[in-house]
Amino acid sequence: MRPSPRPFGSPPGATATLPVLRPVLFSALPLVWFLALPMALLLVVLLAVSPTPLEGRQGHQPSHEWWHWGGTPSAARYAPLDQIRGENFGELEVAWVWRGDNFGPEPDWTLRSTPVYAGGRLFTVAGTRRTVAALDPATGETLWIFREPATPRWEASPRTTYGKGVTYAEVEGRAVIFYVSPALFLHALDAETGQPLEGFGSLVPVPGFEDLRPVDLLADLDRAHPWDPVHGPDPTLGALTNSSPPLVVNGVVIVGNSSHVGLGYSRTENIPGDVLAYDARTGEHLWRFHVLPRPGEVGHESWENDAWAWSGNANPWAPFSADPERGIVYIPTGAPTNDVYGGFRPGDNLFGTSVVALDLRTGERRWHFQTVRHDVWDRDNPHPPILLDLQVEGRAVPAAVQVTKQGLVFAFHRETGEPLWPVEDVPVPASQVPGERLSPTQPVPSRPAPFEIQGLSEEEVVDFTPELRAEALERLGDIRMGPLFNPPIHRDNPDGYRAAAICPGFTGGANIIGGAAADPETGILYVASVKSCSGAVLVPGSDRDDGSPGANHGRTVADWIQGPGAGLGTVEGIPFLRPPWGRITAIDMNTGDHLWWIPNGDTPAHVANHPRLEGIELPNTGQPSHATALVTSTLLLYGEGRGGLPRFHAVDKATGERVGTVQLPAPTTTAPMTFLHEGRQYIVTAVGAPGRFPGSLVALRLP
């Protein structure tokens, strides 16, 4: 039987060693003091690097632990650890495998969780119910689990398997795990026992929740529409769920949310992805930020046709970052409803596809920057802004760096929002889709240079052989090529095109799968990206909508939605774009200069051994997948990602030279993490492959 959780405010169970020693040391004789001082210093060092019992810990994150999705609130995915180095990387062995498919009910090979490590324990989520589990970092043994009871709200969640993890925090001496379920309940769990914390949240009128005290996030969304604590929102007005863990900083819990995959959404109504904040001790609601501005709020005029009142999305579905000293949280948002057509929501549509800096205590907007206006290209900002302290033109600059799906890097002064380098308003083509009115310009930073393809032209078509290139161009003959912001077309367009090329594609550029990592010591950004194109062709919404509110939340069918048959395909399995198809780019954010890039892994075997390429000396094309990366004080480390090979690589951070490779049971499926436990450095990553290996966690360590 698990021990009862200790209420907030009661004294921690552990005693503080150093304050007890200090009076003895300072009152001793000089000789004793001379002998004791080195021992005291040694004790300080040991306490800094040794695992600490969860009870009685203080709120400062030790450098060898990993409390957040991005490691620390800066989201740099960096750890100052050096036990694993280039010369010993090849000796890494699999310490254990933790099976995520044990937490069904339906196993999903794509485990998306990046664990956190604190106080000698590892914490993660798995399965469609998003079961929370505490693990022994040395063995992978499950120490406790927490699973929210099944509810109609959970069953209606459009993204049950999208859980990216949990967050660890220390509140009034208590070690706490915060997580959000697919049904949009915020839970605070005792990290020792997995039991809900006393004094947090409140009773909710949901069967099976009698012993729980969550926060019902739907109750704090103030859109005026019917809402039921058991069944959730009225489905005719939209749906809402969660995918990323909350961020806990300075005693405040900030929560985002996500919605349907926009490309398949056929209605115009949905729920706005408002940002919510809570007191970490009690769960008291502190503030709400409207991503669709209300009358009188900044940006309201960017929603014409009163679309702010019934449209939705602009979800902050990616993780957040924060500057605890300045009291600012940084929110990346996605596209408004829906991803490829916005005729029913004319205007620029703030705060869709934006970076928004909010006051941590009040939720007031400090600054914002919209990276895509009136988004119809599915350009969701997929990664938290990375916070770095830079030296730009001889001056110290606190920066926030946003990588994007369109292959651009936006860099801002994180206090003021001023771009570090000029951002140009570039004219873009108008839409030919009836009812659509795009913004005439889009922002493009002057530095750094793009790290991925910017639109599609014949120069980007594969050229391994003249015959292959000719066939690729022939197959692209019914595709409308164009620039980065090539507008989607409709099925009956006057030029007879099958689709418009969107490059980078809907899942190209930088994305949540790998995203980016950075070295805060040097200011170098490492961006994982994919070179790909998607096809956009719109068909009347009535063609694909079966009239069922259960299948299509909302009530008004959109004039246009993404249609079938828009894929650009390959030439007998060979991508039609010139390589590299997947890469990691190193960018010095102090200067905006690209330093180097490397392919993600090696050329796929089916390409290297393709009969049409026999005798051709191919370059290393890289895997057409998102590398999953992190940075330590010694190395850049990465897996090849979904669709890549089951390998993990070590790279010299300064040169990009690969210095080691180890095998994994399956390819990585999301961003990895690292920590020091009982004096040994571990790397833990999620892996999986369809039909071959379930979504699991794998731990690597030196022998």
What CATH number is attached to the domain comprising 473? Answer: 2.140.10.10
Does residue 544 lie within any of the structural domains?
yes
Q: Specify the amino acid at residue 136.
A: D
Roughly how many angstroms between the first and final C-alpha of the chain, as a whole number? 36
Does residue 2 lie within any of the structural domains?
no
Q: Could you give the number of structural domains in the chain?
A: 2
pLDDT at 59: 67
Distances (CA, A) of 167 to 71, 101, 610: 10, 22, 46
**What range does the domain containing 35 cover?**
17-49
Q: Please check whether residues 38 and 114 belong to one and the same domain.
A: no
The two three-digit tokens of residue 270, written as one number: 């949905």
Does residue 435 lie within any of the structural domains?
yes
CA-based nearest residue to 412, from 403, 75, 5: 403
What value does the mean pLDDT of the chain take?
90
Give the residue from 8, 29, 49 where a domain finishes.
49
Q: Please check whether residues 42 and 187 belong to one and the same domain.
A: no
Distance (Å, whole) CA 448 – CA 109: 36
Give the residue from 29, 49, 69 where a domain finishes.
49
Q: Please check whether residues 36 and 116 belong to one and the same domain.
A: no
Q: Please check whether residues 510 and 590 belong to one and the same domain.
A: yes
Q: Please check whether residues 44 and 112 belong to one and the same domain.
A: no
Does residue 12 lie within any of the structural domains?
no
Does residue 114 lie within any of the structural domains?
yes
- N residues, the chain: 703
Give the residue from 49, 69, 93 where a domain finishes.
49
| Percentage of the residues of the chain whose pLDDT score is greater than 70 | 90
Q: Please check whether residues 581 and 683 belong to one and the same domain.
A: yes
φ, ψ (nearest 5 deg) of residue 95: -80, -40
Q: Is the pLDDT assigned to residue 15 strictly greater than 50? A: no
Q: Please check whether residues 25 and 169 belong to one and the same domain.
A: no
Distance (Å, whole) CA 56 – CA 345: 52
Mean pLDDT of 270-282: 96
Over the Cα atoms of the chain, what is R_g? 25
Does residue 41 lie within any of the structural domains?
yes
Does residue 158 lie within any of the structural domains?
yes
Q: Is the pLDDT assigned to residue 426 strictly greater than 60? A: yes
What single string gives the DSSP state of each residue in 500-539?
Answer: EEESS-TT-BS-TTT-EEEETTTTEEEEEEE---EEEEEE
Q: Please check whether residues 38 and 185 belong to one and the same domain.
A: no
More confident residue, 32 or 678: 678
Q: Please check whether residues 227 and 169 belong to one and the same domain.
A: yes
φ, ψ (nearest 5 deg) of residue 630: -150, 165
Q: Please check whether residues 26 and 133 belong to one and the same domain.
A: no
Mean pLDDT of 237-254: 95
The two three-digit tokens of residue 229, written as one number: 């604590």
CA-based nearest residue to 692, from 664, 673, 671, 672: 664
pLDDT at 300: 98
Q: Please check whether residues 43 and 88 belong to one and the same domain.
A: no
Q: Please check whether residues 628 and 560 belong to one and the same domain.
A: yes
Most confident stretch, 108-112, 366-370, 551-555: 366-370
Q: Per-residue confidence at 544, pLDDT binned at 50, 70, 90?
A: confident
Does residue 63 lie within any of the structural domains?
no
